Amino acid sequence: MTPPEEVDAGPFILRRWQAVWATGLLAAVRASLPQLQASSAAWATDDYSLDSAREFMDRVDRNWAEQSSFSYAMQTPNGEIVGAASLMTRMGPGVLEIGYWVHSDFSGRGYATAAAVALTQVALSLEAVEKVAIRHDARNRASARVAERAGYVEVARRPSTLDARGGETDIEVVWEHPTARGDEPSRCG
């Protein structure tokens, strides 16, 4: 189960992260800290540094090799980093979860939705994948809109298992894509 290292997402390209982009990642994260912190991203701290970005790049390589997570830079055709998106196995066998964030200067342009749609297609093309999901903190309304626009159906609200920072609701919302293999979305909750 290995997705492609590059995916056309319409207005941008999803590319497997490369260590040489650490400085660009740092700039995007630092510029977007208020938005990232408001969305409860635990890793988005005031002390996010070039070392933090490099550690992320190392983790991306390890996770890709282990097939536990597949992280992409969202880049414009000229290489500018406009965000990040991932396919993650943390919800268990047969399920790929999509995560994303968008640089503050590029928010509101549909980039997160385009990433979710593109990665949904990638996930559903992989043999072992039965379901594709999106999870977010209940107060993150922007992620709810992305999931809905990307064609996902809300299937659960439950105590949070997300790695989030202070101020979260302790409730996560789970969305599943209805065209996944197997049964209809599991309306648990």
Task: Give the integer Cα–Cα distance in Å for 154 and 188.
Answer: 10
Does residue 183 lie within any of the structural domains? Answer: no
So what's the pLDDT on residue 40? 64
The SS3 call for residue 152 is coil
Is the model's pTM score more than 0.75?
yes
Give residue 185's pLDDT.
47
Model confidence pLDDT, tens digit, residues 150-162: 999 999 999 987 6
Q: What is the pLDDT of residues 63-105, one digit of tens each?
A: 999 999 999 999 999 999 999 999 999 999 999 999 999 999 9
Q: Report yes or no on 185 lying in a domain.
A: no
Structural domains in the chain (count): 1
CA distance 21 to 146: 26
**H helical segments located in 5-46:** 22-38
Beta strand 131-137 pairing with 95-102: parallel
Task: Look at residues 108, 103, 104 and name the one whose alpha carbon lies nearest to residue 142.
Answer: 108
Residue 188 in any domain: the answer is no
CA 89 to chain centre: 12
Tokens 């648990």 identify what position?
188
Query: What pLDDT score does 189 carry?
Result: 38
- What's the token pair of residue 75? 């880049």
* Within a domain: 72: yes
Residues 14-26 have a mean pLDDT of: 96
* Domain annotation covers residue 187: no
Q: Is the pLDDT of residue 139 over 50?
A: yes
Q: Which tens digits make up the pLDDT trace of 56-72?
A: 999 999 999 999 999 99
pLDDT for the residue numbered 118: 97
Q: For the chain, give the percent of residues with pLDDT over 70.
A: 90
Q: Is residue 78 part of a domain?
A: yes
Is the confidence at residue 166, as pLDDT, over 60? no
Structure-block tokens of residue 148: 């809905």
pLDDT of residue 167: 47
Domain-embedded: residue 186: no
Q: Where are the beta strands (DSSP E) in 34-152?
A: 69-75, 81-88, 95-102, 131-137
Domain region containing 149: 6-176
Q: What is the CATH number of the domain that holds 52?
A: 3.40.630.30
